[in-house]
Amino acid sequence: MTTREERITQLLSDEFGLVNMELDAPIFSAKVLDSMDVLRLMILLEQEFGTRIPVFEVSLEMFDTVRSMAVIVEKYS
């Protein structure tokens, strides 16, 4: 697990109560979080990593796993 993935995992734990998340465990497709949570999560990721994620490019698939979130954060950093 990379530092970025560790930070995302901690953020999910702290803000959403999701503990011990596996890197490829589904979050939105498994209905653990809903589509309204994606906006909050996007803002939290932007704050945590000092990045801007273009809203027009956002999809739930981008936020479905810790690994996919790490890729998005890296892409827009």
Number of C-alpha atoms within 13 angstroms, CB side, residue 47?
8
Instruction: Give the global pTM.
Output: 0.92
Q: Are 26 and 64 in contact (CB under 8 A)?
A: yes
Per-residue pLDDT of the chain (77 residues; tens, 9 = 90+): 899 999 999 999 999 999 999 999 999 999 999 888 988 999 999 999 999 999 888 888 899 999 999 999 999 98
20 vs 52: CA distance, rounded Å: 27
Q: Are 1 and 9 in contact (CB under 8 A)?
A: yes
Q: Are 73 and 4 in contact (CB under 8 A)?
A: yes
CATH topology for 3-75? Answer: 1.10.1200
> Does residue 42 sit in helix, strand or coil?
helix
